[in-house]
Structure 1
Amino acid sequence: MVEAWYMDESSEDQRKPHRLQPNRPVSTAELQRLGVSSWKLDADNHETDPELERIRRERNYSWMDIITIRKDTLPNYEEKIKMFYEEHLHLDDEIRYVLDGSGYFDVRDKNEQWIRIAMEKGDLITLPAGIYHRFTLDEKNYVKAMRLFVGEPVWTPYNRPADHFEAREKYVLSLTQLG
């Protein structure tokens, strides 16, 4: 499963791990309370993996493509890296499956503290609609990921503040129901 921890406040390179000292790990159960789901799958066999097929069927992930984020393959690389790292939300779930390489998703907890989620080959993650998040590569500067959607893809990020959207209101309500 994915590894996660609370981040420090350092302004050092965003691609570094940014662990608090001492480290404060975040469990899979804590991530699930925030609406974040994750699985460990066989990325080498993603085209025929029955577990991936089961997840896609159960969650209606009907559309997919593959993106490679690396300086020599992604047009407007520097601009895109900055855009991915801007704190934002989507009106639909964000589903990513790392086929190769690695990177980080950062999400906010109920108290607005950043949690860093390390993603590596074989990790599939779902971030719920309305959660503020951001993405960055790690120091390896490379990830190949499958992007999955329910229905037609919607790529629109809404940078913070975006609290007026129904998806955000529903997400915040789900957090308050946790107690």
Structure 2
Amino acid sequence: MVRAWYMDDEVAFPRKEHHRIPPQFVTLEELHKSSGVEYFQVSPDCYEIDNTLKQLIEERGNNIQQIVDNPNEEELKKHFTEHFHADDEFRLAIEGCGYFDVRDKFDEWIRIEVLPGDLLVIPGGCYHRFIVDSQNVYKGLRILKDAIYQAHNRSSDELECRKEYLRKLFNGAYDEPKEEINLI
């Protein structure tokens, strides 16, 4: 099961499991309300046929799948740069351990630890970054709406997708529990 916690403002690269002492843990409900990030559990061994993932892909139109397998230092530095995407991004951990840091509505970092089977849906417009743990082993699946993987680095607040995300966040769009996936 995924864990999330508030962390100090600055985290040095390379990776370290950094958090406040003691960590201020965040529930999945609080994570969703404060950032719009959703969490789902998916079978990492047979994700291709997992009903939860299939239904999310069908409902939301994210169908471009890319494997991220043991990223090198250059890729890690790129992914650790704070950025957002115009559309929702699905991130499924298949092997190893990684951390997604997301900004909450008050611009504070929440670190989300992902292990095999953890699926995050990061809303379009939500600033985030990614790093693997100190074991440097990670395989994941990135599912996008568009084949063009465009990241907008910090200070792209003028883009309409960012403004729309903030409107949703501050107008309570993420306050309601997320709709349950029907596993017929």
Give me the TM-score of the superposition, normalised by structure 1.
0.88
Distance in 2, matches of 1:30 and 1:171, equals 17
Shift of 1:51: 2.6
Distance in 1, matches of 2:156 and 2:171, equals 21
- 8 Å CA contact retained: 2:90, 2:120: yes
Partner of residue 37, structure 1: 38
Q: 1:14 to 1:175 in 2, by over 3 A?
A: farther
Q: 1:11 to 1:128 in 2, by over 3 A?
A: closer
Residues 21-170 of structure 1 mapped to structure 2, 5 A cutoff: 21-33=21-33, 34-70=35-71, 77-150=72-145, 152-170=146-164
In structure 1, stretches of 5+ residues that fail to align are 71-76
Runs of 4+ in 1 over 6 A off after TM superposition: none
- 8 Å CA contact retained: 2:11, 2:18: no
- 8 Å CA contact retained: 2:4, 2:25: yes
- 8 Å CA contact retained: 1:104, 1:137: yes
Distance in 2, matches of 1:58 and 1:10, equals 36
Distance in 2, matches of 1:64 and 1:13, equals 27
Provide the alpha-carbon RMSD of the alignment. Answer: 1.7
Distance in 1, matches of 2:91 and 2:109, equals 19
Distance in 2, matches of 1:85 and 1:37, equals 20
In structure 2, stretches of 5+ residues that fail to align are 176-184
Q: 1:16 to 1:59 in 2, by over 3 A?
A: same
3-state SS of paired residue (1:82): helix
Partner of residue 6, structure 2: 6
Q: 1:82 to 1:13 in 2, by over 3 A?
A: closer
Distance in 2, matches of 1:49 and 1:93, equals 19
Give me the TM-score of the superposition, normalised by structure 2.
0.86
- 8 Å CA contact retained: 1:10, 1:18: no
3-state SS of paired residue (1:116): strand
- 8 Å CA contact retained: 1:96, 1:147: yes
Q: 1:101 to 1:89 in 2, by over 3 A?
A: same
3-state SS of paired residue (1:164): coil
Q: Which amino acid aligns with 2:155?
A: P
